[in-house]
Amino acid sequence: MTQHGFFFDQSRCTGCQTCSVACKNYYALPPGPLKYLRIYQYEKGSFPDVRLHTQWIPCYHCEKPVCADACPSEAIYKEPAYGAVLINREKCDGCRLCYDACPYGAPVFESDELGVRARKCTLCIDRLLVGEKPICVIACPLRALDFGPLDDLAKVYGKERDLEDLPDSQATSPCIVFKARREKRRLVPYDSEKALGLFMKRDPLPTIFTSLSDVTEISEGLVGRNNLRIKHRSAKDLLRCTRNDEG
Amino acid sequence: MSRDVPQDRQGNDVVRYTSCGFHCFDQCVLKVRVRDGRVVSVEPDDTIHPGTAREGEHGPDELSSTSMVQYRPCPKGYAMAHALDDPRRVIYPMKRVGNRGEGKFERISWDEALDTIAAKLVEVKEQYGPHSILHQPYSYMGWCSFPLSRWFGAGVAAWGAHSANGFQEPQNWVYGRDIADGMISLGHYAFTQDETNIFNAKLIVLWGFNPVSLMSSRVSHNLLQAKERGIPIICIEPRYTPSVEVLADQWIPIRPTTDVAMMIAMANVWFKEDLCDKDFVEEWVEPEGLEKWKAYVLGTEDGVDKTPQWAETLCGVPAETIEGFARLYAKSKPVNLNVSLSMGRQFFGENPARASMYLQALTGNTFIPGGTAAVETGLWWGRLGGSLPRVDWQQQRRTYRAPVLMAMYKWPKAVDLREKLDRGEISEEEFNSSIGNKAENPAPNIQLVILESNDHVNNLPNMNQTIRAMKKVAFTLVFAQYADAPAARYADILLPQIYSAYEGRNGGCGLHWPLFTTTLNLGSHFVYRQKCVDPPGEVKPNDWVWTQIAKRLGLVEMYNPRMAHTADEDWDETVEALYKEAYEQWAGRKDIAPLDPPGWETFQKRPVFRFPMEGEPYYPLKHHVEAGENPFEGTTSGKIEFYSKALAKGPEYLKHNEVPPGTGRCYGGGNLPPMAQMTRGGRDTFFSEDTKKYPLLMSSPHSYYRVHSWLDNNIWLRTDCYRHAVWMNVADAKSRGVKDNDRVRVYSDIGEMVGPAYVTSRIVPGTVVIHHGGWYVPKKEKTELMPDGIDNRGAPNLFTHGEELPDTVVGTFPCKGLVQVEKLGDGE
Ligand code: SF4
Ligand code: SF4
Ligand code: SF4
């Protein structure tokens, strides 16, 4: 077996969801929570020192697939040619123990109903077998993705298997190489505190807000999408977290 | 339903290629897999470099330099295919049975629909004269898009455009030529740039421009490549967009409607620190006007020195930042300045439009490799624009030319005011001035409205005014895919709209885009849109519809002679044959043959024609530079003009506009300063007095998941990918007790909606954003302001005013409005 895997360049990802929609379209997955590939977009910081993060989460076809270990029905197996972690749907009885075990929340379910069988990214095994790359990888308009034997990817892109905010790769050895988002380059001076003072006032009309903390202090639940949650309590929660507000 | 191993490759799959073809700038290549007459999947472009993830690159993409790359679609390209067999789709002609606005229709035959339309055209023309028929949304830029107008002898043309409007007239004043010029002579498109021109820049500025959302394919990828090659990119924007995150080195947040102040302050720095490009200015800028503007900038006349300190209180951008940016800009030649066209779509939008042109002129960046003329951002027509194969429809010479009688988006106003004119409450001159008509022109009496293509009710400013107009006129005809689309609700006759990218053959005889299509932002390729499937029900191509109406009016030999006798079942084949003929003629042309286009049959296997953009990229006015021509011969002085003597005449100028430069199609009321300046106050601006009542300035930028209002009800996008919500800054939310996902009520004196709030630090305080194209979806609850029901979805044009007089010129197409927001209830 040659273990294959993905490369994800976070510095190129706009969170557009093309890859995810292309995957759904190709596998004729219905609208709703059955997303083999989930895109998360979330902000960090406070105005005007804010950044936007994206995460790209299919199944990472781990070298240590804890999902398979957790499955009492032995429905999950490592496919021999590419190292894809696949679910035998005949055997799956919908207990969701794989979901509980997977740190990335990769198994997905059509609804919250008990007994619904687990589904998951297949590494596009059907395409690999005819010599094609996964559809998500060739769909990205900004070319943020790549695919290949894990060793080759490491040679080209480096060995980084961890990314800020994602679970530690030690647990499962996910088959992905990451490139993290970039630090911003400040080309011209910018004093955030002074800017906030300016944004407060609308002279001679009433002020917009009254103290800087109105903008910078953010209590829990106030802001939409300012943390990453990839394990979901319900289908609704998954959908809420994997949408963005760019539309 | 779903499948793990989907594609039965040994089976009967047919692979077709097309492009989206719905108003999108990109026109990406879609590979469509068809099985048993249905689309089973859409896959990305594989007509070049098939099976490649990053097209040979493991770093900056050298291939981009020649643009020999794939045109990968965005989510819209995939999701649209699901709309083809959407059970909600209108698939038969319908007639209204309730009142206009109720959205009740019943199925009728094509014969009944076509007979009714033909009869109404005759009746309205007889009763109200030739200036009573309006076809939108493409009666603009001096054109009348009613397909039969030229021979039927009726119809109204309009000036201005939805898109480039705020820049179009300023271009005439500053450069002496405008976008309409370029649209007509595509191949010699004066101000554009090849996408690869950006690689020659030393600084790229995206001012109010979010390409990731609007031009997600080639333009965004190219900008990314530029960034990875180390070219500095600065984004000046009220929001921290995905473009800022991925493309920009630095974000400079700025209040909407104040950009012109920052531009003026930059010039102030340049004048004081002697940073202008003296040689360029001396050769190309008209000196008297420049002195006048300089006096304004330095405050020698009004006593207000427009320094960065002056600007910072307006823009919210610290003076040190403005200074630093001005200095960086002046020393970074070439600067590739990309100002979003939306900056012109605001009251006094002509000011930032002009000022951005001044910035490039003062620094000598207007027409050098790597530079831009700061107009038509993103409209990078490239090299094939004017040279696509074209079918010769052999239409007969016109017998009627529709006169330009209004600004294109003023027709609802023209309907509204017409009664007052008829009752003698206003004079004809007042009427004309309000709608952007010349004082001496006849007053139009719009009584028959045809809306074909994008949802004009949803997409015009002040939707309630448009709705009122749709209810008042004698007859309305709307083409739409859904009966509950905002425009469709007001139709007397509702015709099913074809998805021309996939179904049937809309050849482009009438209004519709031809089957050869290229990006608006590139142009070294084109796609032939193959037919993938038959349309459902009785859906027909628009060209077919107009040909049948023409038959009933006895005009078919004039409108579509080559298909006058084509049987319905032969329609698509005949169109294909005409395209084959056009392609073969084109391929044989002296200028095209060296590009070695394949024969038609080979071309049909991968119907995308590309050629490498070799040599120096096209930069603005390159053709003129190389031919040694003066590109500014359209201005009075033959130079770039900072001061418009015509505008200095005051309101009289617009009433009788004999504008010497350019196309000069701007008429009507209004009074605009003769040169770019910052105007505090004024309607729907950040410093308007009205903010005391409606303190939040709303903007309506493009969405990632719609093109205008197309696809807003597509559940593959709408509930899967995004939440259509009201963006609010943390401070504005807190002071209203709002937290994320709470239901909020948004209202002003012209509209009201409810929807969820998106609370974020990604937007400037005091502003909100509701993305453009969200449908007006009325609730049962009706109010005086919302007679058809309060909006339950979020249509921003409920809040954009069309009422700018007398402050600014009548042509602005505003996409901003002042609103108040209040909390209605907790989120789920
Ligand atoms: S298509 Fe590319 S840019 Fe878009 S979300 Fe996927 S990885 Fe990110
Ligand atoms: S990502 Fe999760 S589901 Fe996929 S192999 Fe790893 S543990 Fe299993
Ligand atoms: S590898 Fe294939 S199945 Fe997995 S997310 Fe990508 S497109 Fe979907």
- Domains of chain A are 4-185+235-242 (3.30.70.20)
What letter does residue B631 receive in the DSSP assignment?
Answer: T
Interface of A with B in 75-114 (CB under 8 A): 89
Cα B271 to averaged position of ligand 1 atoms, centre (Å): 44
- Alpha carbon nearest to ligand 3 atom 6, residue: A136
Give burial (CB, 10 Å; 0-12/13-18/19+) of B343. Answer: buried
Looking at residue B457, its pLDDT comes to 95
Looking at residue B614, its pLDDT comes to 77
> Number of helices and strands (H, E) in chain B?
27, 24
B246 and A CB contact within 8 Å: yes
* Contact of B185 with B179, CB cutoff 8 Å: no
Q: Rounded to an integer, what distance in angstroms lies between the CA atom of residue B256 and that of residue B237?
A: 8
By most ligand atoms within 8 Å of CB, the mutation choice from A14, A138, A163 for ligand 1 is A14
Chain B residues touching A221 at Cβ < 8 A: 739-740
With an 8 Å Cβ cutoff, are B761 and A46 in contact?
Answer: yes
- Alpha carbon nearest to ligand 1 atom 6, residue: A19
* Contact of A41 with A244, CB cutoff 8 Å: yes
Of B39, B25, B632, B15, which is closest to residue B341 (Cα–Cα)?
A: B25
Read off the tokens for B610: 């590309």
Q: Could you write out the DSSP letters of every residue in B253-302?
A: E--TT-HHHHHHHHHHHHHHHT-S-HHHHHHHB-HHHHHHHHHHHHTTTT
Give burial (CB, 10 Å; 0-12/13-18/19+) of A142. Answer: buried
Q: What's the gap in Å between the CA of B314 and the closest CA on chain A?
A: 8
- What parts of chain B have a pLDDT lower than 50? 1-6, 10, 58-60, 183-187, 659-664, 806-807
Read off the tokens for B501: 């990218």
A157 and B CB contact within 8 Å: yes
Chain A residues touching B220 at Cβ < 8 A: 14, 141-142
What are φ and ψ of residue A39, in 5° steps? -110, 125
A215 and B CB contact within 8 Å: yes
B331 and A CB contact within 8 Å: no
A35 and B CB contact within 8 Å: yes
Number of C-beta neighbours around residue B630 at 10 A:
14
With an 8 Å Cβ cutoff, are A190 and B252 in contact?
Answer: yes
By C-alpha distance, the chain A residue nearest B230 is: A185
* Contact of B675 with B643, CB cutoff 8 Å: yes
Chain A residues touching B686 at Cβ < 8 A: 202
Q: Is A16 touching ligand 2 by the criterion CB < 6 Å?
A: no
Looking at residue A17, its pLDDT comes to 97
Of B216, B761, B157, B328, which is closest to residue A19 (Cα–Cα)?
A: B216
At residue B159, the 3 state secondary structure works out as strand
Residue B105 parent element (H or E): strand B105-107
With an 8 Å Cβ cutoff, are A245 and B217 in contact?
Answer: no
Q: Rounded to an integer, what distance in angstroms lies between the CA atom of residue B290 and that of residue B362?
A: 10
Return left, alpha or beta for B35; rule: phi > 0 is left, psi -120 to 50 is alpha, else beta: beta
Chain A residues touching B249 at Cβ < 8 A: 184-187
- Tell me, letter by letter, the H, E, C secondary structure of chain A: CCCEEEEEEHHHCCCCCHHHHHHHHHCCCCCCCCCCCEEEEEEEEECCEEEEEEEEECCCCCCCCHHHHHCCCCCEEECCCCCCEEECCCCCCCCCHHHHHCCCCCCECCCCCCCCCCECCCCCHHHHCCCCCCHHHHHCCCCCEEEEEHHHHHHHHCCCCCCCCCCCHHHCCCCEEEECCCCCCCCCCCCHHHHHHHHHCECCECCCCCCCHHHHCCCCCCCCCCCCCCCCCCHHHHHHHHCECCC
Q: Rounded to an integer, what distance in angstroms lies between the CA atom of residue B174 and that of residue B289?
A: 11
What letter does residue B89 receive in the DSSP assignment?
Answer: B
Identity of the residue in B42, B733, B766 whose CB atom sits nearest the CB atom of A202: B766
B557-to-B575, B579, B777 alpha-carbon distances in Å: 16, 20, 42
By C-alpha distance, the chain B residue nearest A46 is: B761
A51 and B CB contact within 8 Å: yes
By C-alpha distance, the chain A residue nearest B686 is: A202
B741 and A CB contact within 8 Å: yes
* Contact of B690 with B324, CB cutoff 8 Å: no
* Contact of A184 with A192, CB cutoff 8 Å: no
Q: Which residue has the tokens 């951002």?
A: B377
A172 and B CB contact within 8 Å: no
Read off the tokens for B490: 């007001």
Q: Is A172 touching ligand 2 by the criterion CB < 6 Å?
A: yes
Of B101, B96, B129, which is closest to residue B112 (Cα–Cα)?
A: B96
A24 and B CB contact within 8 Å: yes
Q: Rounded to an integer, what distance in angstroms lies between the CA atom of residue A175 and that of residue B399?
A: 69
- Mode of pairing for the β-strands spanning B233-237 and B250-253: parallel
Q: Rounded to an integer, what distance in angstroms lies between the CA atom of residue B719 and that of residue B776?
A: 17
Q: Which domains does chain B have, with CATH numbers?
A: 94-156+403-498+535-565 (3.40.50.740), 170-379 (3.40.228.10), 689-825 (2.40.40.20)
By most ligand atoms within 8 Å of CB, the mutation choice from A18, A40, A121 for ligand 1 is A18
Q: Rounded to an integer, what distance in angstroms lies between the CA atom of residue B137 and that of residue B156?
A: 12
Ligand nearest to the CA of A58: 3
What letter does residue B333 receive in the DSSP assignment?
Answer: P
Q: Is A67 touching ligand 2 by the criterion CB < 6 Å?
A: yes
A126 and B CB contact within 8 Å: yes
Length reported for chain A: 247
Strand-pairing partners, residue A53, are A42
Identity of the residue in A43, A157, A216 whose CB atom sits nearest the CB atom of B762: A43
Looking at residue B664, its pLDDT comes to 43
Q: Rounded to an integer, what distance in angstroms lies between the CA atom of residue B363 and that of residue B270?
A: 9
Cα B249–chain centre separation? 27
What average pLDDT values come out for chain A (247 residues) when binned by 10 residues?
Answer: 97 97 95 97 98 98 98 97 96 97 98 95 95 96 96 96 98 98 95 98 96 97 96 97 96
Read off the tokens for B421: 């004119």
With an 8 Å Cβ cutoff, are A215 and B692 in contact?
Answer: no
Looking at residue B202, its pLDDT comes to 98
Q: Rounded to an integer, what distance in angstroms lies between the CA atom of residue B803 and that of residue B523?
A: 37
Q: Residues lining ligand 3, judged by CB closer than 6 Å?
A: A 23, 36-37, 58, 121-124, 134-136
Interface of B with A in 71-110 (CB under 8 A): 72-75, 78-79, 81-82
Looking at residue B56, its pLDDT comes to 59
* Contact of A44 with B762, CB cutoff 8 Å: no
Q: Which residues contact B782 (CB under 8 A, 6 or more apart)?
A: B788, B789, B790
B820 and A CB contact within 8 Å: no
Of B375, B262, B362, B252, which is closest to residue B312 (Cα–Cα)?
A: B262
Of B52, B51, B48, B44, which is closest to residue B73 (Cα–Cα)?
A: B44
Q: What's the gap in Å between the CA of B726 and the closest CA on chain A?
A: 9
Residue B752 parent element (H or E): strand B752-760
Q: Is A55 touching ligand 1 by the criterion CB < 6 Å?
A: no
With an 8 Å Cβ cutoff, are B759 and A224 in contact?
Answer: yes
With a threshold of 0.90, does the pTM exceed it?
A: yes
Cα A68 to averaged position of ligand 2 atoms, centre (Å): 8
| Per-residue model confidence as pLDDT tens digits over B549-561 | 999 999 999 999 9
* Contact of A4 with A150, CB cutoff 8 Å: yes
Ligand nearest to the CA of B6: 3
By most ligand atoms within 8 Å of CB, the mutation choice from A56, A138, A177, A242 for ligand 1 is A56
Q: Rounded to an integer, what distance in angstroms lies between the CA atom of residue B107 and that of residue A24?
A: 34
Of B726, B815, B722, which is closest to residue B768 (Cα–Cα)?
A: B726
With an 8 Å Cβ cutoff, are B43 and A214 in contact?
Answer: no
Interface of B with A in 13-72 (CB under 8 A): 40-44, 46, 51-55, 57-58, 61, 72
With an 8 Å Cβ cutoff, are A205 and B687 in contact?
Answer: yes
- Alpha carbon nearest to ligand 3 atom 8, residue: A23
The alpha carbon torsion through B390, B396, B397, B399 (nearest 10 deg) reads -130
B280-to-B205, B331, B586, B594, B643 alpha-carbon distances in Å: 21, 14, 41, 38, 18
Q: Is A99 touching ligand 2 by the criterion CB < 6 Å?
A: no
Q: Rounded to an integer, what distance in angstroms lies between the CA atom of residue B630 and that of residue B652?
A: 30
Best of A11, A13, A14 to substitute, by most chain B Cβ atoms within 10 angstroms, is: A14
Q: Is A106 touching ligand 2 by the criterion CB < 6 Å?
A: yes
A129 and B CB contact within 8 Å: no
With an 8 Å Cβ cutoff, are A146 and B53 in contact?
Answer: yes
Return left, alpha or beta for B396; rule: phi > 0 is left, psi -120 to 50 is alpha, else beta: beta
B317 and A CB contact within 8 Å: yes
Q: Which residue has the tokens 């610290």?
A: B318
Cα A87 to averaged position of ligand 3 atoms, centre (Å): 14
At residue B471, the 3 state secondary structure works out as helix
* Contact of B537 with B496, CB cutoff 8 Å: yes
Of B258, B254, B206, B214, which is closest to residue B233 (Cα–Cα)?
A: B206
**How many angstroms separate the first and last alpha carbons of chain B?**
30
